[in-house]
Amino acid sequence: MDGLSDLYQEVILDHYRRPRNFGLPPEAERQADGHNPLCGDRVRVAVHLDGGRIAAIGFEGSGCAISTASASLMTEAVRGRTLDEVHALFQRFHDLVTLPAGEAGAEPDGSLGKLEALAGVREFPMRVKCATLAWHTLEAALEGATSAVSTE
């Protein structure tokens, strides 16, 4: 398991140091802001939809390694998916990082790909908010929310 933990740590650090899809797509018609007051993470997520699918997505902001890596991994995971697929993916990811180890949906099984690198945050409840901030912000953007998302 140490090898897997090392790999997960490498994935998180890579996405923190070189976040994918950093910047807002110019054609985005939906966006939302999110804030985690406990650690100061701030994120803006913007999406462009085409035919009910996420055609373009990006984010900007500043945050800890977990928050930035999660936003980067999320943008890669949701591009090209339908809104229903995005909502289902969010729920599976949320279960992975919030459910106690051993419960159904709590263990990495390969179905979430690189997102599973964040499974270990469930051991640190304060970090769960960092890992889910971008996801909640994406959900708000898709719903057309006008107020900022907060983890509190």
Residue ranges per structural domain of the chain: 2-144
2-144 adopts what CATH topology?
Answer: Sufe protein. Chain: A (3.90.1010)
Asked if 58 and 72 count as a contact pair (C-beta separation under 8 A), the reply is no
pLDDT by residue (tens digit) across 18-68? 999 999 999 999 999 999 998 899 999 999 999 999 999 999 999 999 999
Backbone angles phi, psi at 61, to 5 degrees: 140, -170
Residue 61 CA to chain centroid, in angstroms? 13
Asked if 39 and 63 count as a contact pair (C-beta separation under 8 A), the reply is yes
Give the CA-trace dihedral at 8, 94, 140, 85, to 10 degrees: 90
Check residue 4 and give its pLDDT. Answer: 55
Asked if 145 and 136 count as a contact pair (C-beta separation under 8 A), the reply is no
Residue 14 has pLDDT above 80, yes or no: yes
Rounded Cα–Cα distance for residues 105 and 97 (Å):
9
End-to-end CA distance of the chain: 33
User: CA 120, 31, 146: angle at the middle one, nearest 5?
Assistant: 105
pLDDT by residue (tens digit) across 96-131? 999 988 888 888 888 899 999 999 999 888 899 999
Residue 6 has pLDDT above 90, yes or no: no
Beta strand 30-36 with 149-150: parallel, antiparallel or unpaired?
parallel
